[in-house]
Structure 1
Amino acid sequence: MSDVLFTMAGHGFSSGEMLALAGLGLAAVLGFALWRQGRARADAALEMALRAQEADQRMRDLARIQHETAGRVQSMAEVLSQRQSELARVVAERLDDTSHRLGQTMANASHATHESLTRIAERLVMVEAAERSLSDLSTQVLSLRETLANKQARGAFGQARMEAIISDGLPKTAFAFQYTLSNGRRPDCVIFLPGDSRPLVIDAKFPLESITQFREARNAEARKAAATRLRNDLMKHVNDVSQRYLLAGETQDIALIFVPSESVYADIQEHMDTVVQAAFRARVVLVSPTLLMLAVQLVQAISRDARMREEADRIRAEVGALVGDVARLRERVSDLSRHFGQAGDDLAKLTISADKISRRGARLEQLEFGDSAPAHAPDKS
């Protein structure tokens, strides 16, 4: 038992000492375990106490919150009751207002409906009048169609429209209708240009049947045949005008063919360009009412310029006479200015004499008549 098991720090430990140390260590461990167990029980008890206290606090908070909630619910019930009363009052007021507005709206709608019916009745009367006007217009259109269907009537229609344009734009001495040429032909109208004795010839005929057939063609074959007929008729008319009315040295180098319809003229320009070019080479120009008006305005400008050139000599003579009158007026103004200068000098002399007389009168008023008064010599100034 006294055998040394190991040595530490110069001291040898025997088996007995080791058993004693082991016993002490076990006792320390057991003591520490008991202490920890007691400490754990104390902590558990403290935690349970805290939990119990927290639960109690929560119960008191729940009771307080329940009491507050009950108060708030009662307050909300009172507020809801008050709001319900106010809502009932507002709804009643709104219903009354809505009923009043609805009645007023119904009255206004009734009045507006009455006015609308009145206006509709008036418009129906206007529609009836327009229908009668349309009937009259249809009659007039049919009459115009019948007129255009007749060659002589159609010629008179084109002639009348051309005469209206020419008569409105030119003086009577600048044109003539049915003027007779040297070959016995009588064109529809001629226009005399200033400074030129050769008249400008205007023809007012056009092939309406061919144009109508071309417009009303139903298929390509019929349209092609109508185009051929229209082209032939136009070329025949252009050749007739060129041969009958273009006389060298007697008429102008070109002649006009008046087409009294803008739509017909547009169809010719769009679909018959070859005819238009051939007519231009034949010195014949196709014109619509608008182009004829432009030509009339051009003739007006040329006539105005010619009259101004004719009056230029008279204007020059009048200006020379005016310059002489101005020169004489200047001489007479110079004479009058000299007279005014002389009169001004005379007036200045008169003013000097008047001043002298005034001064002498003042001196006479200041004299004191007596024995010792000196005699004044006469003033020679």
Structure 2
Amino acid sequence: MESMGTGLSAPIFRLGTTNVTLGGFLVGASLLLVGCLILLAFVFWRSAKARQRAAADAAEQSRAAEARMASVLQAQSEMQGRMGALAEVFGARQAELTQSIGQRLDAMTGRLGQSMSEQAKSTHESLAKLQERLAVIDTAQTNIQSLAGQVVQLQSILSNKQTRGAFGQSRMEAIVADGLPHGAYEFQATLSNGSRPDCLVNMPNNAPSLVIDAKFPLEAWNAIRAAEGEAAQKLAAQAFRRDVEVHIRAIAEKYLIQGETQDTAFMFVPSESIFAEIHENFEAVVQRAHRVRVVIVSPSLLMLSIQVVQAILKDARMREQAHLIQGEVVRLMEDVGRLDERVRKLQTHFGQASRDIDDILVSTGKVTKRGQKIESLEFGTQADDDAAPEAKSRTAESHTGQLRLRVVEDDNG
């Protein structure tokens, strides 16, 4: 026993500063086991209590679920009734909707067909107009191609010196021939010095003729247009100025003849643009031409000058016919004098006839009064009454014979 007590009091292990003995350990273990048993018993009791409460809750929830299920079934039956009613309403509405949609689709189909037919008609008309416009465009393109060919032909003409001179000559001749009557001009006439200007305009009253030259030098001008670079353009401009001055000097020397031609000659430039360029950039050339009495004219200026010459020729013809007009006016005044004299004689005859008519009216008045007296049987002296009408009658016959005689004399005169 002592050994057992000694063994129970022997330390088994050390926990911190405390020595744990076997007896203490066994006592602690037994106490712990008892505590665990108590704890297990309490846990079992709590779990049983919880199971009872859970069962009660489950039963309560089951009764609540059954009540809810019953209400759900009732609501479901009510819902089925409502659904049936709604199904009937929806069926009727669907039938009406189907009918309405069908009617609208029919109307829309009709309108769509009509719109498509109108659109097809409009498209057909648009295509027809488009074809017409395409035909017009084709015609315009053909005209443009023809004009392009003519421009190429004109370029080829202007590239040749002889044909270019003929082109300027033809333009000048067309302007002169359109503006002046035949015989007032002459092309390629020969002057006394043997030179042949392009055109001579015959002035009225034996005045000297006006010379028009159409041989404008265009080679240097084309060289200016074809030159590239400032230096090349400057050289081409100098060459153009030199050629134009030489041509102006030749016109002044060959065509300005004292007493035979006017003291001013025209140098015709067949292009308005070249004319404007000369006056814009070659003012010295224009001034030199004015000093030697050579006027540079464009087609429009030549046309204006020809119209002035036409007015001068018309005025000269009117002056030539002035004496004939004066003679006709003199004869007309003589006829007017004779007419005035005859009208005055006729006025005298009408005055005499008026006086005779007044005398006749006096006689008729007396005759009327005599008739009234006869009606009232108021007779006077018969001899006096009879003598007065016979005298008046003889006087009226005398005046009437004189009037007829004067009218016959006026007709014979």
Whether the TM-score (by the shorter chain) exceeds 0.5 is yes
Provide the C-alpha distance between the structure 1 equivalents of 2:111 and 2:226, rounded to a whole number of angstroms: 63
Unmatched tracts of structure 2, length 5 or more: 1-92, 389-413
SS at the partner of 1:171?
coil
Alignment partners' CA distance in 2, 1:127 and 1:119: 12
Question: Could you tell me which residue of structure 1 aligns to residue 192 of structure 2?
Answer: 182
1:244 and 2:248 correspond: no
Structure 2 residue identity aligned to 1:160: S
Task: Kindly state the Cα deviation for residue 106 of structure 1 after the two structures are TM-superposed.
Answer: 4.5
Q: Distance in 1 between matches of 2:121 and 2:219?
A: 59
Give the aligned partner of residue 302 of structure 2.
Answer: 292
Please state if 1:149 is matched with 2:153: no
Corresponding position of 1:327? 337
TM score, norm. by length of structure 1? 0.68
Gaps of 5+ in 1: 1-84, 368-373
Q: Judge conservation of contact 2:217–2:243 (CA < 8 Å) in 1.
A: yes
1:317 aligns with 2:321: no
Matched letter for residue 362 of structure 2: I
The equivalent position to 1:127 in structure 2, one of 110, 115, 137, is 137
1:158 paired with 2:158, answer no
- Report the equivalent of 1:341: 351
Counterparts of 2:211 and 2:263 in 1: how far apart (Å)?
10
* Offset at residue 187 of structure 1 (A): 0.4
Tell me if the contact between 2:248 and 2:289 (Cα under 8 Å) persists in the aligned partners.
Answer: yes
1:137 and 2:147 equivalent? Answer: yes
Does the alignment pair 1:356 with 2:366? yes
8 Å Cα contact 2:198-2:214 kept in structure 1: yes
Which residue identity lines up with residue 183 of structure 2 in the other structure? T
| Amino acid corresponding to residue 368 of structure 2 in structure 1 | S
Query: Does structure 1 conserve the Cα–Cα contact (< 8 Å) formed by 2:373 and 2:379?
Result: no
The residue aligned with 1:171 is: 181
Shift of 1:104: 5.1
For 1:230 and 1:375, how far apart are their aligned partners in 2?
Answer: 125
Count of matched residue pairs: 288
Distance 1:105 1:222 in 2: 70
Deviation at 1:105, TM superposition (A): 4.8
| CA–CA separation in structure 2 for the residues paired with 1:356 and 1:196 | 84
Residue 377 in 1 paired to residue 381 in 2?
yes
Letter in 2 for 1:156: A
Looking at structure 1, the residues matched to 136 and 206 of structure 2 have their Cα atoms a distance apart, in angstroms, of: 57
Q: TM-score normalised to the size of structure 2?
A: 0.63
Q: Distance in 1 between matches of 2:339 and 2:131?
A: 79
Shift of 1:172: 1.7
Q: How far apart are the structure 2 equivalents of 1:140 and 1:270?
A: 29
| Residue deviations 1:19-60 (CA, integer Å, cap 9, x gap) | xxxxxxxxxxxxxxxxxxxxxxxxxxxxxxxxxxxxxxxxxx
Deviation string, structure 1 residues 175-211 (Cα, Å, up to 9, x no partner):
1111110001110101122224311100111222221
Q: Which moved more, 1:104-113 or 1:194-203?
A: 104-113
Question: Which residues in structure 2 correspond to 1:40-55 (within 5 Å)?
Answer: none
Report deviation, 1:101. 6.3
User: SS of 1:180's equivalent?
Assistant: coil
2:290 is the counterpart of 1:280:
yes
SS of alignment partner, residue 263 of structure 2: coil
**Residues 236 and 375 of structure 1: is their aligned pair in 2 closer, same or farther, counting only changes over 3 Å?**
closer
In structure 1, distance between residues paired with 2:119 and 2:224: 57
Matched, 1:112 2:127: no
What SS class does the counterpart of residue 186 from structure 2 fall into? strand
Deviation at 1:347, TM superposition (A): 1.5
Would the alpha carbon gap of residues 241 and 375 (structure 1) be closer, same or farther in structure 2, given more than 3 Å must change? Answer: closer
Q: Go from structure 1 to structure 2 and tell me whether the alpha carbon gap of 1:337 and 1:375 turns closer, same or farther (over 3 Å shift).
A: closer
Q: Give deviations 1:97-141, integer Å, cap 9, x for gaps.
A: 888766655544333222222222222222222222222222222
Q: What is the correspondence of 1:179-218 to structure 2 with a 5 Å cutoff?
A: 179-218=189-228
Structure showing greater Rg: 2
Partners of 1:98 and 1:303 lie apart in 2 by 83
Distance 1:375 1:285, change over 3 A: closer
Residue 365 (str. 1) matches residue 375 (str. 2): yes
Alignment partners' CA distance in 1, 2:341 and 2:379: 56
Q: Provide, for residues 205-262 of structure 1, a one-character-per-residue CA deviation record: whole Å limited to 9, x for no partner.
A: 1222221221233321221121112111111111111111111222111110111111
